[in-house]
Every structure is written in C-alpha cells, then in structure tokens.
Amino acid sequence: METSNDQFIAPDRAAVASEWRQGELVEVEITDLSHSGEGVGRFEGRVVFVPDTVTGDRVLARLVRVKPQYAQGKLQKILDGSPHRRRPSCIVADKCGGCQWQQIDYDFQLVAKRNAVLQSLERIGGFDKPIVLETLSANRLNYRNKATYPLARSTSGQVQAGYYQKNSHHLINLNQCPIQDLRLDPLLAEMKGDIQERGWSIYSEEQHRGKLRHLGLRIGRHTGEILVTLVSTDANLDGLTEQAQAWLDRYPNLVSVCLNLNGDRTNAIFGSETRCIAGQPYLHEIFADLRFQVLPTTFFQVHTEAAELLLEAIATHLNLQGDEILVDTYCGVGTLTLPLAKRVQRAIGLEVQPEAVMQAETNATINQIANTQFLAGRVETLLPQLEMQPDVVLLDPPRKGCERAVLTALRNLAPGRIVYVSCNPSTLARDLKLLCEDGLYRLEQVQPVDFFAQTAHVESAAFLVKGQE
C-alpha cells in the first residue's frame, strides 16, 4: 500500500499520548482481534484498532479517529506479516464488507473465536477460568444457504448486485461469492442481466425512488431446492410473471419465485407481504433428518451443517433420557425444537412471531412429531404461564440477547438445566452473569461453533445447571 513520503511515528517517540493527531502514521504491532474483527494493538499506552490486520502483524497505520483512550487506524503498509496471514479467497475481499477475516488462516480463525468467547465470559461475565471448548467447524467456504443482495445501478446504467463496501453505502458488484453455496452463483450473474433487459427500475435509498431493492437467493443444502425472492417497493413490474416462469424453466432446481413488498423508507430488507409469483411458496430442507418448509422470510440458520453440529453438541451434553419436558424459547420454525422433541417426553416452543409458530406446527405435522406444542407470544409473558415445570429450557435470543424480564422470569421458573445459544459473546456473558447471580445456576461449559466462517462472528452454546457444584 502507498505510504507516500509521510513521516511515521516510531514506537519510542517521546511525545505524550495527548499529542496524537488524526492523520498521523503510527507503527503498531497487532496482538489481538476485537469482537468486530479488527486487529488490536497499542501505541503510547492507548489501544489502536486496525481493520484488515491479523494477530502477529506489524503494520503502519494512519490514525483516522482519535479518542482519549483509543484510536481507529487505517492499514497503510504491512511491515512484517503474521504467520496467520494468508491470501484471501475472494478477489474483492479488501473492498467488500461481507467478510472481515478472509486474510486470516482458518485454523487461527477458530482459535480467535474461542478466545472471543472466553474473554467475554471473563471480562463481562466475571467468570473465573470458564471452560470453553475448541470451536467446532464444518465448511470454511461455500457454506451460506442464503444471500440477500442489495441492487443498484452503475454510472453507466448497468444493474449491479453485491455487498456494500466497508463503512459505506457504495455497492461492490459481484458475480459470485466464495462463501455462498456454489449452486447460487449462476443465478446471481444471470438474473442481473434479466433484470437489466426487463428495464425494471432500481430503488435509490437517497431519493427513495425506484422499485427493485434486493435479490434474495436461498437453497436447501441437503435438497438442492432453490427459492428466489425479489424485494420491491410495489408489485407493478412489467412481465414479472413471464420472467418468473422463464427462470423456473431455466433452472431445474428452482422451485419458487416470490415477490416481497417493502415500500417503507427503512434499512429492513423485507416488508410484511410476500407473494408467490411462480412455483410453490417455499423450499424444502432436510435438517437433522427432518424435513422443513422454509419460506422467503423464514429465519433459518445460514450454515446448515454447522447448525447440525450445534444441535448434536446440545443433545450430547444434555444426555436426554426421554422423560424430560423441554421448553425452547425464541423457537422460530422449530429448527431445534423438533429434533430435540424426538429425545424428550414433551417439547414446548415459544415464539413471538405468529407466522413462525404456524410454520413450526406445519413442520411438526410434516414429520409426524406429536409431542410438541407451539405458543405465540412474548417469552417473558409465556414462561410464567406454563402449566408444567420444565426440566430443560433452551434460550436462543436475537443478537441483542435476552430482555431483563426474560431472565427474571427464567430465574423464577428455575428449571434444572438451561442451554443458552448465542451469536454474540458480549450479550451472552452479560446474561449468564445475571442467571448465575447468587449461585442459582452454575456455568458448566461453553461450546463455540463456527456458523460464519471468514467473519468475526461466532455462535456458541452455554450449558448451565441449577445449584452449586
């Protein structure tokens, strides 16, 4: 990278930290990775965060933001590369904001993710030497079963689809993506051309004008069935039905073309209404030997094989005997509820979205699983209303973690065991601290699983048991 003729600040500079200035060049040795994926180093007693770096790098970074206790830097030159550094698999890895860790050796990614969980438990949760197992992993590339691409037009008027450049709303146009299922690549490249030929208008965030906003692709990893979703501000797209049928004829594995309507000025991808234009309104996926219907807006883990690893880790640790009552909170469409129901006496799923509850019930019927019950409502409201005492409660909340009222309700219910599944080590540690307060629960161990290879994100399952050791 270009360094021009600027002077850089040597590590032994005598000036005090308060003299740091935005725009200066500093030499930093990267000693750790942050939860957001940035390299972490120190200069003159203050932390410097540098994206696109690896533990063990010695780099030249330009200070782009200076605060009293830390600074944000931009990588200018790698002075000494880390032994954990490798060539990215993606040609636009330095621009695209989809991945943060393409430049990091995969084995070290797994180590870093375990460390992220461990450090959060110690620093935020206050746990003393918690047991965090080695990170389980499946596919490191070509694993995503879902991709939803924003659409845009280039300055020459060509339809583009891709991910936004890091820290911007500038779209990086893609014809393939090394972390999505390979079977989706031809659709991404060819459908852009079809949209171009149809002359459909493309939505502009700045002007809140135009129609097509996103192109969504989903695939059943174990079935090969593909579902396409166009997200538009309105349904008036000339020739849409004709084009949808043409896609079904062209791609043998394509089973559905849907249109989701989202006319709001929002960052949310999907609106509340989805119409099936051609084919069936869902795809089928096989998960843990069960058959699931997956709709365009259904939440389903993007890494099917990793989710199966997580499920097996949960079942193995719990060592279910078949007489337990299990409650799965934030159950979605029953992805974990239904496989675990086959190992217990009764399984109850709690979910705030009525549509997801209906899908969960459908999936139970498809698989002839009769010992389940799914309830729609807020978890903190439904937990105190349960008519029976559960032996195991499974928590799988959104990234923000559990509301305090959920944790209070759970402590009052006091099941014998809790499994907390989380995609955010910080909120996991925060919530576990509250659950273990006053010795009501004890943290046995945590199992990280790599759901999001080539990124800084990590999924994990924490196992709690009631009472002291």
Annotated catalytic residues are: 423
| Placement of tokens 């991910």 in the chain | 163
One-letter amino acid at 138 equals: A
Strands of the sheet containing 346-351, edge to edge, are: 372-376, 346-351, 325-329, 392-395, 417-422, 459-466, 441-449
Distance CA 226, CA 183 (A): 9
Give me 113's structure tokens.
Answer: 């993710």
* Residue 449 host element (H or E): strand 441-449
**In terms of C-beta density within 10 A (0-12 exposed, 13-18 middle, 19 or more buried), how is residue 346 classed?**
middle
Query: Residue 178: which of 122, 235, 98, 104 has the closest Cα?
Result: 98
Which residue from 219, 311, 203 is spatially nearest to 263, judged by alpha carbons?
203
Annotate 302-346 with DSSP letters as a single string.
S-HHHHHHHHHHHHHHHT--S--EEEEET-TTTTTHHHHHTTSSE
Reported residue count of the chain is 469
> Could you give the count of Cα atoms lying within 13 Å of 199 in the half-sphere of its Cβ?
2
* b/e burial code for range 279-312 (CB count within 10 A of at least 16 → b): bebbbbbebbebebbbbbbbbbbbbbbbbbbbbe
Please give the DSSP secondary-structure letter assigned to residue 402. Answer: -
The answer to whether 364 and 338 have CB atoms below 8 angstroms apart is yes
**Residue 120 parent element (H or E):** helix 106-123
Close Cβ partners of 6 (under 8 Å, ≥ 6 residues apart): 25
